[in-house]
């Protein structure tokens, strides 16, 4: 194994952030550095910075998530940000949504190994599961797609007055401006940029928050949601 693929020791901040789940966070980091790299879920160059750039960067998203809500992590990939969030917030009910089989297999293994009973893995695309999964309070995502496309996938999965929290980088403000018209059509009523992780990560993690009104997804998805609900009722009667 090359030096670039060696996992560094966990920083002291990780002990503070993950608390009683610190050992599980270490095991998850090891799985990412080993099986995650071998299966092509994460690049070998990312291993030396797994803690700061990935696990801690995702774990501090918890600062923006309300207590006791349902969460859907769209395009969860190797479990970022969903699994770090699950490790620090056992009060959440989290769904990891991912279309690729090799990734969902990895996610299922991690969830079972770490005993994350409040996490469910679902294979599928966001546009395919609307109406099949219960609407959630919060949608999370990281490095999935530009904000306008991400919103088109994630916002329709929300409950009325829910919110999407997207971890973004330096382009967050530009993406938010570019997506403003699309967000309005999707039922967004408020947007903001948050910086979380003070004292944990440097630079701070940047989060785009999109809050929706009573019709997540806008008019276009209201009919789809109603049709899915009718189909679900018909199936239950049978």
pLDDT digits (tens, 9 = 90+) for 49-96: 999 999 999 999 999 999 999 999 999 999 999 999 999 999 999 999
Give the pLDDT score at 4: 45
The alpha carbon of 67 is separated from its chain's Cα centroid by a whole number of angstroms, namely 16
Count of other CB atoms within 10 angstroms of residue 90: 14
pLDDT in tens, 176-233: 999 999 999 999 999 999 999 999 999 999 999 999 999 998 766 766 666 666 665 5
Return the sign of the alpha-carbon dihedral for residues 208, 153, 133, 116.
negative
Query: In the 8-state DSSP scheme, what is residue 36?
Result: I
Strand duo 70-74 + 205-212: pairing: unpaired
> Long-range contacts of range 27-34, CB-CB < 8 Å, 24 or more positions apart?
27/113, 27/114, 28/55, 28/79, 28/83, 28/84, 28/87, 28/110, 28/114, 29/55, 31/106, 31/109, 31/110, 31/113, 32/78, 33/5, 33/6, 33/7
| Residue whose C-alpha is closest to residue 81's, from 11, 32, 135 | 32
Positions of E strands within 75-157? 93-98, 119-123, 136-142
Calpha distance 153→187 (Å, rounded): 13
Burial class of residue 78, CB neighbours in 10 A (0-12, 13-18, 19+): buried
Half-sphere exposure for 83 (CA within 13 Å, toward CB)? 30
Q: Which of 172, 166, 167 is nearest to 211 (CA)?
A: 166
Model-level pTM? 0.91
Residues above pLDDT 90, as percent of the chain: 83
Specify the DSSP element, H or E, that contains 212. Answer: strand 205-212
Type and span of the H or E element at 221? helix 218-237
């Amino acid at each position: 194994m090359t030096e670039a693929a060696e996992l560094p020791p966990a920083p002291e901040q990780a002990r503070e952030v993950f608390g009683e789940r610190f050992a599980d966070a270490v095991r998850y980091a090891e799985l990412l550095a080993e099986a995650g790299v071998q299966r092509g879920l994460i690049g070998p160059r990312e291993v030396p910075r797994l803690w700061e750039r990935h696990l801690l960067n995702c774990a501090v998203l918890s600062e923006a998530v309300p207590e006791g809500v349902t969460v859907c992590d769209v395009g969860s990939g190797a479990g970022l940000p969903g699994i770090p969030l699950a490790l620090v917030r056992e009060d959440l009910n989290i769904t990891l949504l991912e279309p690729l089989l090799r990734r969902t297999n990895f996610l299922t293994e991690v969830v079972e190994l770490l005993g994350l009973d409040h996490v469910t893995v679902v294979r599928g695309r966001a546009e395919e599961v609307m109406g099949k999964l219960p609407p959630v309070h919060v949608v999370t995502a990281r490095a999935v797609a530009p904000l306008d496309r991400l919103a088109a996938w994630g916002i329709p999965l929300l409950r009325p007055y829910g919110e999407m929290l997207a971890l973004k980088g330096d382009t967050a403000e530009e993406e938010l401006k570019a997506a403003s018209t699309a967000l309005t059509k999707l039922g967004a009523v408020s947007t903001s940029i948050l910086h979380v992780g003070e004292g944990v990560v440097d630079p701070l993690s940047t989060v785009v928050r999109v809050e929706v009104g009573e019709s997540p997804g806008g008019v276009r998805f209201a009919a789809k949601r109603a049709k899915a609900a009718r189909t679900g009722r018909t199936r239950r009667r049978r």
